[in-house]
Amino acid sequence: HIFWIPIFPYGKTGASQCEHCNVVYKKGQMPAEYLQEYERVKAEAKTPVWKYAGLIIIAALALYFYISDGQRDNRNSSYIESPLPGDIYRMKADNGHFTTMKVDSVGMDTLYIFVNRYQIKPRKELKDIMSDTSYWPFSLPFAKIEIDSMFLNEEIYDVDRD
């Protein structure tokens, strides 16, 4: 159990209780004549569905993250295929740090991109270096095929579009 949510049902237990004196016999304490009936009832008893609640929750979360990741990949692919000014590419730098690039304008086969001045180590803090003042004041030309290659090589791992 995790927080009282059952994860795996792992067996059944039972007991026999005398209706007159309320004495309870566990399996190892039962008289021999009760054991056969105990085993029959135990074999017929079905495990309640709620005992699988933890597995159902885990499976639902895994499915949600799988679908959401696939949708993000499809969205990113379409953004890379059809870039727009203002798109922000989240990138892995060569030294293990992370940075961003922002699309300034789009030509036929060239993107003009503002490169971020900063890099940051914890990826989750990338938002701290994404202000407009974080980018160099001039844009650099990148061939679309170069951006496609960076995306396929997972150097660009996410695309933000407003």
Give the tens place of pLDDT for each residue, 111-134: 999 999 999 988 788 888 989 999
Percentage of the chain beyond pLDDT 70 is: 93
pLDDT at 1 over 70: no
Contact partners, residue 45, CB within 8 Å, separation at least 6: 12
- pLDDT of 4: 66
- pLDDT of 42: 79
Confirm if 89 and 159 have CB atoms less than 8 A apart. Answer: yes
pTM equals: 0.63
- pLDDT of 98: 95
What stretch of H or E contains 76?
A: helix 53-81
Q: What is the mean pLDDT of residues 28-45?
A: 79
Q: What is the mean pLDDT of residues 23-27?
A: 80
- pLDDT of 19: 81
Distance CA 134, CA 130 (A): 6
pLDDT digits (tens, 9 = 90+) for 77-92: 999 999 999 999 999 9
Give me the helix-helix angle, 53-81 and 144-152, nearest 10°. 160
